[in-house]
Structures are given as structure tokens and as C-alpha cells.
Chains A and B, each alone.
Chain A
């Protein structure tokens, strides 16, 4: 087990290096005009361009430029937004707790509901409950989440504001942890919206996996030995069929923290990292986007490594590999 963890962590370092190279290539090397021009955004001033050229040393060889970029992004962390000349890293750091609040809450919702719906669907495969849940799950996958957020916000906070149950829902924004009730009130609708797609997706995966496991030989053994229905289901069928969910969860949680929040934070004005990315996109302000892309990918990679280790703990067959 320890050897597995060490090897996995060594792999992690390599992938992080590859990711940083990819970010460098995407933002600095992709052919097409002057990189300084690209970094400077849509409406650069001559002064901007000159400063960027100087700061980033675009006349120097590529390896030096790469080290420079990493120096600015990771070590000195002094990268500057060219839109309003503010430092990028502090803005990201203030956004992190907001983005994490959003993502963690949504993840809990989608895990609980996704697995529950998937199990119910799988146990009733072919019956009406399964069909209804299948349609619900597929619809969930098919809704653009930012649109769902906008429509719900419109319905709850404007159209049906007078209906008692909705009157407490705030129009958007974020309240800090220090007041947990306000915090949850502000986040409950974004959580649900962000979870909808994944609930549908997880339900499908759990359903398929459970159906597979129910036909597995070792589950047949468990039944042939007279174990109770719930034991066969939970200790034998479900235990093995939840393994793919763990894998998915690592990927999706990373992808949510680092990506999907862009859409939701804009809709609800949560002001986290996602909204910062979105505003940078709107201004074609590349430095913040570059920093967020690098750190976002790093989160995904680290989450994946964590999942692999959890996976090895769940499935002893992996440990020897």
C-alpha cells in the first residue's frame, strides 16, 4: 500500500509538470502574432504591450520564458492583471472559500441523491419507478445549468416572490461562514442547480454498475449461501458497484471546483474564483485566466491522485498492481 502511494505521488509530480507546460504552450507559445499582444487583451495600450514584453521576456528562449512564467505564477505569485493592474493571486485567494463553499455543498447533494436514485433505479430495473427516474436523470443531464439558475432565480425571487416558501431566498451574492444560516440561504439554490447535472449522471452510472454487479458470480454465491436481501445488496453488490463512483467523484469534484463554477458564479454573483475567471474572459484579460487554469488543473490532478489512493483502499486488487 505504501509503495503504491509513493508511486502514485511521483506520478502526480510528473503530471503537474506536464500541466504547467501545457498552460505555458496555450498562453505563450500557440502560434499567431505577438504573445504580448495576446496577453494584453482586447484593447491594449502601447505602454501595456511594452511592459508585458519586458516583464515576460518574450525575446528570450522558451525554457527561460517557461521558468519566468512559473516564477510569477507559483513562486513569487506576483502576476498582475492587465485589465486593471491589480495583483491576481490575492483576488483568487479571496475567492477560494466562496468557490469551495459552493462546490462542496453541491457535491454532497449530488452524491447523496445520485447514489440514492441510482440504487432505486437499479433495484427496480424495468419497472415504472426506474423509467420515471431514468427520464428524470436524463433530463437533469440535458439542462444548461446556467440557464436553470437564471430561470429559478427569476421564478423564486421575482415571479413568485410573494409565495411564502420562496420569500426568504436572496437574489444572489454570498454571505460569509460566520453567519451559517445566511451562508446556507445564499447558497441553497446554487447548490441544487450545480448538483442537478451530476445527480442525473451519477444515477445512471450507479444504476448500470448495480445491474452489472447483480449478475456477478460472487453476488450469486452470496445469494446461494442464503444471505439476507439487504446484506447481498449492501455488502456484496453495492460495495463493488460504488467503486466507479469514487473514480468519477474525484474527476467531477475537481472539474466543478476548477470549471463549472464559472457558469454558476456568474448567474448568482457569488464572487468566487469562477466569477473572477468569467470577468477575465469578458475582458480578454489573460493573466488571471492563466493562473486560474493552472491552479484549476492542479486541483483536478491532485483530486485524481487522492481518488486513486482511495480506490486502492476500496479495491484490494489494485494495491498489488
Chain B
């Protein structure tokens, strides 16, 4: 009797495995993820290698009076009228120089480090805050939830850029002095914290909704009935069930935060001018866009590449992780 084969249950894959399978089929999303990984590798590992082997000078090296040989001719890095050298096929100054005679490509690579650190760091901080608030609000419910929800609404009431600019400006005047915590006003931590805080509601509101819905589910009640404490319930029962949403949000928020860093730096309240970042480089080059457009275009293109890859990856992750994305059988 071939009973076992007749009833033969299809192998049921776990949700993560199923998601991975879906993601693997989404070539565009995979390519996007790969391109972001390559971008990170180029800026972290590639930058010092390029400096050591090809460019032979770092991002801060100024060369106002020097000259280089370009196609057999010797040309000044910065011309007498202040116009820097443009892009061309050579090792040093591949993308040209800025007004101070610094190597644009090297600066863009090192600036990428700053921008990526801010994007990733602020996204991690933002999600950590958002997850903690969402779990606490969803688990405790009642007054705790009301206070957290109203607090998020309050932050949400401010236009994001205006709030970021306002906080950054206030902090930029004399840094942060919170008891033992001292952050100087030119620290990279300031944009990280500012960007993270203003986007907390963006991540926390959908997460809170999900936790509240999960809290009503039987398995959570069962865990509590079996004596699971608050910490255990939040980390073992609730957290794993919102991780997929958090993962999708992570990709989108990193993209968003890289853009926000650029905007804040462009307005002069982001990264201190002494550290190159994509936003800073655009801001510095903006005034000379007519004579040296590459100073604006190159860092901007890097931002677009980073943000597009993350947004496409996030979109693919959403399709893969969202159970509603399943082909509907009944319709």
C-alpha cells in the first residue's frame, strides 16, 4: 500500500527559508544587495589600497602649488585662476582635484566611509530605539503604550528636515553635556544621534502596531501563562515575530539616512567640515559647479548608487518577507 506516498506531505519550509528562496529568485534585489556590498568594500578596504598603490596621497593632502603630468604635458593641479584640474586618465587625480588641490576620488572614497558609518550607525541606533519602544509599548500596553505612542506622534508632528536641522543646530552650538556624556560639537556622533532620533517614529509606529497585534495572539498569552517574564516574553516571543519587518525597515532606513546625512551636511549642520563625507564634498563643491562640475556630480552619484541599491534591496526583502506577498490561491 502506497499510503505514505499518497498522503506525502510537501516539505514545509520555515518562513525564513521560504523568504530566502523567494529572495534568491529576485535577481534585481540580489544584484542591488551585491552592489551595496561592493560599495561598502570599495570605501572601507578599497580606499587605503587605492591610496597606497595608485594615488599616493590621502584625502587631506593639499596641493595648491604642485603640478602633475597629464598626457605628457605638465599641468598645475590648481590653475592660477583657482580652477582645479578636471578628470582624466591618470593615477592621481583620476576625477580631478578640489579647490584646495586635494584628490577628489580619494576624498569621495574616504567620504563614503563617513557617510556609510553615519547611515548604518544611525539606522542601527534608530531601529534599536524603535524596537525597544515598540516592544515595551506593545507588551505593557495601557498607560505605557499611550505615553510612548503620544511621544512618537509628537516627534512625527515636526517636519523631519526642520526637526533634524533644529536639533543639529542646537547641539552644534556647544555640543552635548549630559552628565558624564560629553560629545564635542564637531563629533560625528552628533549627526548619527540626530538622524536616528528624528526617524524613530517612522520605524516605531509600524512595529508598535505589529507588537500590539501579536500581544493578543494565543502563543503570547500561553507563554505568559507558563510563567514567562516580561524580558523573556519580549525577546523570545514578540521580538522574533517583528524581526522581518525590522529587517525591511533597516535597508530602507539606511538609504534614507545616507540621504539625510547629505542634506544636513549640505546645510552645514551635518558632519564637521574637517571630515570628508559625501554631503560635505557636495557642499564644498557647490559654489564652483560651473568650473568644476565633477566636485558636485561624483559624490552625488555615489549617494544615488548607495540609496538605489538599498531601496531596491529593501523592496525585494519586503516582497520576500511579507506573507501577504504570497500568490493568492483563492482568487
Contact = CB atoms under 8 A, between A and B. Distances in A.
**Do A and B touch each other in the complex, judged by CB within 8 A?**
yes
A19 B159 CA distance: 12
Contacts, number: 161
A38 B159 contact: no
A292 B267 CA distance: 16
B262 A147 contact: yes
Instruction: Tell me the dominant secondary structure on chain B's binding face.
Output: helix
Interface string B169-202: 1101111111000000000000000000000000
A256 B304 CA distance: 21
A30 B170 contact: yes
A232 B92 CA distance: 62
A318 interface: no
B105 interface: no
A32 B158 contact: no
A19 B158 contact: yes
Interface residues of B, number: 52
B263 A142 contact: no
Contacts of B279: 144
A289 B307 CA distance: 29
B159 A254 contact: yes
B330 to A, nearest CB: 9
B269 A281 contact: yes
Contact of A42 (B28, B170, B173, B259): B173
Interface in A264-312: 266, 277-278, 280-282, 284, 286, 289-290, 292-293, 296-297, 300-301, 304
Contacts of A255: 159-161
B162 A258 contact: yes
B312 A138 contact: yes
A212 B279 CA distance: 38
Given A278-B267, A286-B170, A259 B177 contact: no
Instruction: Tell me the dominant secondary structure on chain A's binding face.
Output: helix
B268 interface: yes
A112 B100 CA distance: 45
A17 B293 CA distance: 47
B307 A143 contact: yes
A14 to B, nearest CB: 9
A150 B157 contact: no
Interface string A146-172: 110011011000110000000000000
A262 B163 contact: no
B315 interface: yes
Nearest to A273: B162
Interface in A197-217: 204, 212, 215
Nearest to B322: A208
Given A255-B159, A297-B158, A150 B307 contact: no
A92 to B, nearest CB: 13
A15 B153 CA distance: 9
B300 interface: yes
B78 interface: no
B282 to A, nearest CB: 6
B37 interface: no
B31 to A, nearest CB: 12
Interface string B37-65: 00000000000000000000000000000
Contacts of B114: none
B311 A138 contact: yes
Contact of A277 (B162, B289, B315): B162
A126 B266 CA distance: 38
A22 B170 contact: no
Given A259-B163, A292-B162, A296-B159, 10 more contacts: A31-B177, A37-B173, A38-B174, A135-B312, A142-B310, A142-B311, A154-B289, A262-B267, A266-B267, A277-B165
Closest 4 CB pairs of A and B: A259-B159, A142-B307, A258-B159, A259-B161
15 contacts: A26-B170, A31-B178, A32-B177, A138-B311, A144-B282, A144-B303, A151-B296, A258-B159, A259-B162, A277-B162, A282-B268, A289-B169, A293-B158, A296-B159, A297-B157
